[in-house]
Protein backbone atom coordinates (compact mmCIF):
# COMPACT_ATOMS: atom_id res chain seq x y z
CA UNK A 1 0.00 0.00 0.00
CA UNK A 2 1.27 3.47 -0.84
CA UNK A 3 -0.09 6.73 0.42
CA UNK A 4 0.78 10.09 -1.07
CA UNK A 5 2.10 13.36 0.29
CA UNK A 6 1.99 16.22 -2.23
CA UNK A 7 3.95 19.46 -2.20
CA UNK A 8 2.76 21.70 -5.03
CA UNK A 9 4.07 24.87 -6.57
CA UNK A 10 7.21 25.35 -4.54
CA UNK A 11 8.49 28.57 -6.12
CA UNK A 12 12.26 28.89 -6.08
CA UNK A 13 15.07 30.76 -7.83
CA UNK A 14 18.31 29.31 -9.12
CA UNK A 15 20.88 29.40 -11.89
CA UNK A 16 19.88 26.80 -14.47
CA UNK A 17 20.29 26.45 -18.22
CA UNK A 18 22.91 26.32 -20.91
CA UNK A 19 22.74 29.84 -22.36
CA UNK A 20 24.99 32.68 -21.18
CA UNK A 21 22.02 34.69 -19.91
CA UNK A 22 20.69 31.65 -18.04
CA UNK A 23 24.08 31.17 -16.38
CA UNK A 24 24.28 34.83 -15.36
CA UNK A 25 20.83 35.45 -13.86
CA UNK A 26 18.81 33.44 -11.37
CA UNK A 27 15.56 32.12 -12.81
CA UNK A 28 12.20 31.24 -11.34
CA UNK A 29 11.40 27.55 -11.08
CA UNK A 30 8.31 25.76 -9.85
CA UNK A 31 8.79 22.38 -8.16
CA UNK A 32 6.04 19.83 -7.51
CA UNK A 33 6.69 16.74 -5.38
CA UNK A 34 4.68 13.58 -4.87
CA UNK A 35 6.11 11.45 -2.07
CA UNK A 36 4.89 7.86 -1.91
CA UNK A 37 4.94 6.46 1.60
CA UNK A 38 2.94 4.36 4.03
CA UNK A 39 1.00 6.65 6.39
CA UNK A 40 -0.61 3.81 8.36
CA UNK A 41 1.79 3.89 11.32
CA UNK A 42 1.69 7.69 11.61
CA UNK A 43 -2.08 7.64 11.21
CA UNK A 44 -2.37 5.22 14.12
CA UNK A 45 0.26 6.77 16.43
CA UNK A 46 -0.17 10.50 15.72
CA UNK A 47 3.64 10.73 16.17
CA UNK A 48 5.86 12.67 13.75
CA UNK A 49 8.58 10.06 14.25
CA UNK A 50 6.35 7.64 12.32
CA UNK A 51 5.76 10.03 9.43
CA UNK A 52 7.61 11.73 6.58
CA UNK A 53 8.32 15.20 7.90
CA UNK A 54 7.39 17.16 4.78
CA UNK A 55 8.57 20.41 6.35
CA UNK A 56 12.09 18.97 6.64
CA UNK A 57 11.94 17.61 3.08
CA UNK A 58 10.79 21.00 1.77
CA UNK A 59 13.56 22.90 3.57
CA UNK A 60 16.15 20.51 2.13
CA UNK A 61 14.74 20.89 -1.39
CA UNK A 62 14.82 24.69 -1.08
CA UNK A 63 18.45 24.59 0.07
CA UNK A 64 19.43 22.22 -2.75
CA UNK A 65 17.68 24.14 -5.53
CA UNK A 66 18.65 27.64 -4.47
CA UNK A 67 22.27 26.60 -3.95
CA UNK A 68 22.62 24.73 -7.23
CA UNK A 69 23.87 25.76 -10.67
CA UNK A 70 22.96 22.84 -12.94
CA UNK A 71 22.77 23.08 -16.70
CA UNK A 72 19.80 20.74 -17.16
CA UNK A 73 16.40 20.60 -15.48
CA UNK A 74 16.70 16.80 -15.74
CA UNK A 75 19.80 16.86 -13.50
CA UNK A 76 18.12 19.10 -10.94
CA UNK A 77 15.04 16.86 -10.86
CA UNK A 78 17.26 13.80 -10.34
CA UNK A 79 19.10 15.42 -7.44
CA UNK A 80 15.79 16.42 -5.83
CA UNK A 81 14.58 12.83 -6.19
CA UNK A 82 17.74 11.50 -4.52
CA UNK A 83 17.29 13.92 -1.64
CA UNK A 84 13.67 12.88 -1.10
CA UNK A 85 14.52 9.18 -1.25
CA UNK A 86 17.18 9.66 1.43
CA UNK A 87 14.26 9.87 3.87
CA UNK A 88 13.73 6.25 4.87
CA UNK A 89 9.92 6.46 4.84
CA UNK A 90 9.78 7.70 1.23
CA UNK A 91 9.34 4.66 -1.02
CA UNK A 92 9.05 6.49 -4.35
CA UNK A 93 8.97 10.08 -5.54
CA UNK A 94 7.66 11.99 -8.53
CA UNK A 95 9.44 15.29 -9.14
CA UNK A 96 8.32 17.96 -11.60
CA UNK A 97 10.54 20.97 -12.25
CA UNK A 98 9.11 23.73 -14.42
CA UNK A 99 10.76 26.80 -15.97
CA UNK A 100 7.88 29.25 -16.40
CA UNK A 101 9.60 31.59 -18.86
CA UNK A 102 11.72 29.14 -20.83
CA UNK A 103 9.70 29.26 -24.06
CA UNK A 104 8.24 32.39 -25.57
CA UNK A 105 4.79 31.04 -26.45
CA UNK A 106 4.37 28.56 -23.59
CA UNK A 107 3.25 29.28 -20.05
CA UNK A 108 5.82 26.82 -18.76
CA UNK A 109 8.05 23.94 -19.77
CA UNK A 110 9.06 21.20 -17.40
CA UNK A 111 10.40 17.75 -16.73
CA UNK A 112 8.73 15.09 -14.59
CA UNK A 113 10.64 12.07 -13.32
CA UNK A 114 9.64 9.24 -11.03
CA UNK A 115 12.21 7.31 -9.02
CA UNK A 116 12.38 4.69 -6.27
CA UNK A 117 15.23 3.88 -3.94
CA UNK A 118 16.33 1.08 -6.28
CA UNK A 119 16.77 3.64 -9.09
CA UNK A 120 19.23 5.86 -7.21
CA UNK A 121 21.47 3.42 -5.35
Residues catalogued as catalytic: 99
Residue 10 DSSP SS3: strand
Comparing CA positions, the residue from 48, 82, 54 lying closest to residue 68 is 82
- What are the DSSP E strand ranges found in the chain? 3-14, 27-37, 92-99, 109-116
Residue 56's nearest CA partner among 29, 34, 83 is 83
Amino acid sequence: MSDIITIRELRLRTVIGIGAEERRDRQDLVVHLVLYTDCAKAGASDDIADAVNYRTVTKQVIELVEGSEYYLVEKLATEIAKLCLAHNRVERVRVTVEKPQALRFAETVGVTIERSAADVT
